[in-house]
Amino acid sequence: MAADRVIADFNMSLKDQIVKEKLPNHVAIIMDGNGRWAKQKGLVRVMGHENGTKAVREAVEASAELGIKNLTLYAFSTENWKRPKLEVQTLMKLLVRSLKKEIKTLQDNNIKLSAIGCLKDLPNKAYEELQDVIEKTKDNTNMTLTLALSYGSREEIVKVIKELSLKVKNNIISPESIDESIINKHLYTQNLPDVDLLIRTSGEQRISNFLLWQIAYAELYFTDILWPDFKKENLYKALITYQNRERRFGKTSEQLT
Ligand code: FPP
């Protein structure tokens, strides 16, 4: 019998191996390797970003099909403003184009768009397009897709500390009342649960100022695949690895059973 099961598993597609009941509630992705992908192909860097948008579509579609409730993508960091002007402009244009193009897909799949970061730093066109899609999809319930744009976790934490300090100064809250739940309510991610699974592509193994508070207990998954090559199957592999990890949250194995 056991041998039969092994053969059956061997024949199962990656997608079939994912246990619906054990899906992460929140998946976050650091989409890295666009530049290297382009370089390997003798193309200019922006072509990597252009092809990166196709991988965004794959990840969003696969997540929605599986029933993942929250997907957050690191699309542009506070540090990315330091990149060459042309690259920054292209990324902003790609954002506007993708938003215009994908609004129908978001609506058809009942996906709500959200964004975190210093959104006021975005060029007017990108900011307005983003707000438009956020408004149009606000009642969708299947999945929340959050784009981190001009996002930096330290900036976010500084923002929280400033807001809380001001509330203390104005006697709106007492210092003693500050706890994790109050901090959560002041983060950009106030409407999102903690991250369960953080994926980073391209072989780099660092966090790069992404959701530092929110990944406290996330499982980290690193893959050598460059972002433009990231397909649904790559997400399935990450999810299977996640489902085979034991999440102890500081407890012992025995306490979990
Ligand atoms: C990192 O690769 C990727 C980015 C800084 C931008 C990610 C943007 C996209 C995938 C396209 C637009 C997104 C949306 C949501 C429409 P890198 O340039 O740092 O690659 P490298 O490390 O190989 O140079």
pLDDT at 10 over 80: no
What type of residue sits at position 196?
A: D
Nearest ligand 1 atom, CA 37: 23
* CB distance 95 to 149 below 8 Å: yes
Q: What is the per-residue pLDDT for 248?
A: 82
Ligand 1 within 6 A of 228 CB?
Answer: no
Give whole-number Cα distances, 104 to 17, 139, 247, in Å.
Answer: 30, 14, 37
Backbone angles phi, psi at 2, to 5 degrees: -60, -40
pLDDT tens digits for 57-76? 999 999 999 999 999 999 99
Tokens of 155: 């900036």
Ligand 1 within 6 A of 218 CB?
Answer: no
Ligand 1 within 6 A of 95 CB?
Answer: yes
Q: Is 124 helix (H, G, I), strand (E, B) or coil?
A: helix
Residue reference for tokens 């409407």: 191
Q: What is the per-residue pLDDT for 11?
A: 66
pLDDT tens digits for 76-130? 999 999 999 999 999 999 999 999 999 999 999 999 999 999 999 999 999 999 9
pLDDT at 138 over 50: yes
The one catalytic residue among 80, 142, 191, 209: 80
Compute, in angstroms, the gap from residue 199 CA to the centroid of ligand 1: 14
Q: What is the per-residue pLDDT for 206?
A: 98
